[in-house]
Each structure stands twice: as structure tokens, then as C-alpha cells.
Amino acid sequence: QVQLVESGGGSVQAGGSLRLSCSASRFTSSNYYFVMGWFRQAPGKEREGVASISTWNSNTRYADSVEDRFTISHDNKNITYLQMNSLKPEDTAMYYCAAFRSTGLPVLDANRYNSWGQGTQVTVSS
């Protein structure tokens, strides 16, 4: 498992942008590759997979609800980003970063992930 810390949440008006960051520590070897994911959960709703990226080959996968608005990326400093553009009030949620060790495909199934951050709140007003 790795330790994950999210940052970058906040309040923004509809149509605005935010960039979330997820810093991963305790990567014990540069030979390890992970699938990283961003999930969100709004009050009274189920957790939803938003975006995922393979640090092995940078393949990505997105939920239909954020396709063409959100972009997930990963840098060589073990930071995973979620660029969120054209934000909508329905994007309001607590956003979580997650990871599991794999060289496989990115996935939006939360059950595959075994490391989670504490979350960062995103609020979009109309």
C-alpha cells in the first residue's frame, strides 16, 4: 500500500476549473507501477469512479459523465492530477485519490483499489 494525500479542492462557479493533486509516498521501488484513480462521493449518493490512469503506459479511462471535461495525468514525481474544466453543480462531491499496484488497464471499480486518500472537497455553485 501507499500513502496518498489529495489537495486542490475548493469552491468554484459553474463553468470554472480546478486541478486536484494526489501525492503518493512510500513507493518503495521505482520498479513498481500502479493504477491510480479518482473517485467522488456526494452526500446521499454512491461512490463513483471518475478517472483512472496506468502509470505503466499512461492509458486512461473516464466516466461518461466527465469525458471531455476532466483529464487525469501522472508525473515522474509520483503525483497524479485531475484537471477539471467546465465544472457543473453536479460535480460537487468529496473527491478521493486511490491506487493499487498493477501494470494492467486503468479501471473505475473501487473494489480493485487498496490505498485511499482522505479526500478533498469540490463545491460547484450555479
pLDDT band with cut points at 50, 70 and 90 for residue 110:
very high
Mean pLDDT of 27-35: 71
Average pLDDT of the chain is 94
Q: What is the pLDDT of residue 76?
A: 79
Q: What is the pLDDT of residue 77?
A: 79
Q: What is the pLDDT of residue 26?
A: 65
CA distance linking residue 113 with residue 97, whole number of Å: 10
What does the DSSP assignment read for the chain? --EEEEE--EEEETT--EEEEEEEE----TT--EEEEEEEE-TTS--EEEEEEETTT--EEE-TTTTTTEEEEE-TTSEEEEEE-S--GGG-EEEEEEEEE-SS-----GGG--EE---EEEEEE-
pLDDT band with cut points at 50, 70 and 90 for residue 31:
low
Cell 478521493 -> residue: 96
Q: What is the pLDDT of residue 123?
A: 98
Cell 503506459 -> residue: 57
Summarize pLDDT for 55-98 with one digit per residue, the tens. 999 999 999 999 999 999 998 778 999 999 999 999 999 999 99
